[in-house]
Amino acid sequence: MAVAVCSMLTACVTPQAQVVLDPEVRQQRLEALQAFSFSGGLGIWTDEQSVSARISWLQVDDQLDVSLAGPLGIGNAKLDSKSGSAVLSRGGRVVAQGPSVDRVLQQGLGLQAPVPLEQLQDWVRGLPGNAKSIVRDEQSKLSSLRFTDEHGTRWQARFLRYSDLDGLEVPSLIVASGGPYSVRLVLKNWQKVTDLVVPEKLQSNTRLAIPSR
């Protein structure tokens, strides 16, 4: 009798099979994710230079609002991009502006070369953007990609962790390298943005982990 009961209990706790989205269905759901926010940490470094910051990311259609807070002279910086115009300000003062969000970030943070922030707007959702070489896992999620920017710099990005957003898995850790740079982006507190609920912008006293190498 005990054996029979144990067998019945074991049957009751058998884990359910994980639902795997068809690649096309997953792609469509990710492309439909046009309004969202997350917070986390950003690290950018070379052999001679290192920049780390807490990050708050708000993206609605073609509008991008990124707030950075960190040491090493960054202070509190804010990047706004919409309709082909990008502005980076610090302490209410504009320090860089132009049509390329990649160039504006480069100038504003004093980087040696551009970082593909425009492509990151797709990568953070788990979309390949303009990448030509793409590897997916058995659940159709991005594992890695290769991308060549307009300056001929070859970038490789790896998607190391995912988290759940209303039944859709989105990246929670992305690492990338290209030219002299290594980039590490930690994505936490994912939220969808609706017409009724829009997340507040980054508060300077929010304590978030700064990613390490």
pLDDT tens-place string over residues 154-208: 999 999 999 999 999 999 999 999 999 999 999 999 999 985 454 444 443 333 3
For residue 211, tell me if it sits in a domain.
no
Structural domain count, the chain? 1
For residue 12, tell me if it sits in a domain.
no
Task: Indicate whether this model's pTM tops 0.85.
Answer: no
pLDDT at res. 204: 39
Q: Look up residue 89 and give its two tokens.
A: 């300000």
For residue 185, tell me if it sits in a domain.
yes
Which structural domain range is residue 43 located in?
A: 37-192
First to last CA, the chain: 56
For residue 17, tell me if it sits in a domain.
no
Question: Rounded to 5 degrees, what angle do the CA atoms 101, 91, 43 make?
Answer: 50
Q: Which residue from 32, 79, 42 is spatially nearest to 58, judged by alpha carbons?
A: 79
Q: Look up residue 158 and give its two tokens.
A: 């790896």
CATH number of the domain residue 103 falls in: 2.50.20.10
For residue 9, tell me if it sits in a domain.
no
For residue 198, tell me if it sits in a domain.
no
Residues 147, 116: Cα–Cα separation, whole Å:
9
For residue 131, tell me if it sits in a domain.
yes
Q: In order along the chain (213 residues), what is the average pLDDT of each group of 10 residues?
A: 43 48 85 96 87 92 91 76 92 91 89 88 96 92 94 94 95 95 96 65 39 45
Q: Look up residue 100 and give its two tokens.
A: 């390329």
For residue 166, tell me if it sits in a domain.
yes
Is 165 in contact with 141 (CB distance < 8 Å)? no
Residues 213, 123: Cα–Cα separation, whole Å:
20
